[in-house]
Amino acid sequence: MQSENRMGLNAFHNDAPNMTAVIRSLRQGISLLLSQQRHLLVVLMLSVASLSLATIAWSSLLTSLESKKAQAIKDSYAHAEGLAQSYAERLARTIDGFDRILVHVRHDWDLSEGKTKLERAEEVGIFPRDAVVVVAIFDEGGNTLTSSHPRTPAFTVSDRPYFQFHKYINEDLLVVGEPMRGRFSNEEVVLLSRRLFPSNAEFRGVVVAGIRPEYLTANYSETTFGEHGYLGVLGVDKQIRVVRIGSKVTAIQSADPVTSFYPDAESERGVTQLE
């Protein structure tokens, strides 16, 4: 019996180191597992933090870009509005100069009782040759009474819109017509016209000046508008009279891609945004 007890104790003593090693191994395994879990947790937290920072950064960047875009659009509007206003003032002075020619010719016609002759006006340089194609006076039937153009073919302008306007509207108004091919010059012109004898209720005819369309955009400056800047003249009827892109000038009657853009006629600022 004592021998068996002794043998059991010896066996227990012999197995004790093995159990200690197992426990130590379990502890190391648990520690390694906990360490790996802590490592994964740290990695996960870092990933979440990085994603959050990236989201914040992108959000801030997009907000900044939108703000810069809005400011750029605002600045572009202000710049374009300034150019449009400046050009409008110059164009008004240009139109006023041509209107004075019409008023002066009409006044001479009235004082001379219809004896004014414009046939030699171009020869002596009364009208600016680079701008004015023709100045003419037509009677109540649209027939030519006198003209500054060297050729005066037989035709009538009674079908022209400006003639019909003055015939039926008994007011002393300047009419700036749409570009059309002139019957004197066979060139494309913008016609400015006034009624003869405005104080007379009876229609007696019209005085007309044919202007080269490009002269209406002569104030275009590449330094200001750029190489491909757009400049256009819009009438009160919301129809384009003439447009210019860079060095190319085209009247609306021409079949040309330059006229495919129509500005917003309702804009009070004189500016249209292209999408």
- Classify residue 202: in a domain, yes or no: yes
Q: Determine the Cα–Cα distance for residues 158 and 144; give it in Å rounded to an integer.
A: 11
Does 13 share its domain with 134?
A: no
Same domain, 185 and 260: yes
74: left (phi over 0), alpha (psi -120 to 50) or beta: alpha
Query: Can you give the residue range of the structural domain that contains 238?
Result: 88-264
167 and 114 within one domain:
yes
Residue whose structure tokens are 């249209």:
272
User: What is the amino acid identity at position 52?
Assistant: S
Query: 122 and 179 share a domain?
Result: yes
Tokens of 172: 């002393």
Whether residue 47 is found in the same domain as residue 92: no
**Does residue 239 share a domain with residue 113?**
yes
Mean pLDDT of the chain: 77
- The partner residues of 245 in beta bridges, in order of sequence, read 230, 248
Q: Which two tokens stand for residue 44?
A: 């996960």
**Tens of pLDDT, residues 245-275:** 887 877 755 444 444 455 555 655 555 555 5
The verdict on 24 and 98 lying in the same domain is no
Q: Is residue 63 part of a domain?
A: no
Indicate whether 171 and 240 sit together in one domain: yes
Nearest to 147 by CA among 122, 176, 111: 122
* CB atoms near residue 69 (< 10 Å): 10
Q: Is residue 45, in this structure, part of any structural domain at all?
A: yes
Answer positive or negative: Cα dihedral of 145, 130, 190, 237.
Answer: negative
Residues 18 and 96 in one domain: no
What is the total count of domains within the chain?
2
Query: Is residue 275 domain-resident?
Result: no
Burial of 212 (0-12, 13-18, 19+ CB in 10 A): buried
In a domain, 19, yes or no: yes
CA 213, 205, 99, 91 dihedral sign is negative
Q: Does 21 have pLDDT greater than 70?
A: no
For residues 110 and 208, membership in a common domain is answered with: yes
Is residue 74 in some structural domain?
A: no
Domain identity same for 157 and 35 = no
Give CB contacts under 8 A, 24+ apart, made by 252-257: 252/178, 252/179, 253/178, 253/179, 253/180, 253/181, 253/188, 254/179, 254/188
* Inside any domain, residue 78: no
Question: Taking the model in full, what pTM does it have?
Answer: 0.65
Cα distance between residue 157 and residue 258, in whole Å: 29
Pair 229, 155 in one domain: yes
Q: Kindly state the DSSP code that residue 143 receives in the 8-state scheme.
A: B
For the segment 209-253, what is each residue's pLDDT rounded down to a tens digit? 998 888 888 777 777 777 878 887 877 777 777 888 887 877 755
Highest mean pLDDT pick, 1-5, 24-28, 129-133 = 129-133
Between CA 149 and CA 49 the distance in angstroms is 83
Tell me, what CATH number does 193's domain have? 3.30.450.20
Q: How many residues can be counted in the chain?
A: 275
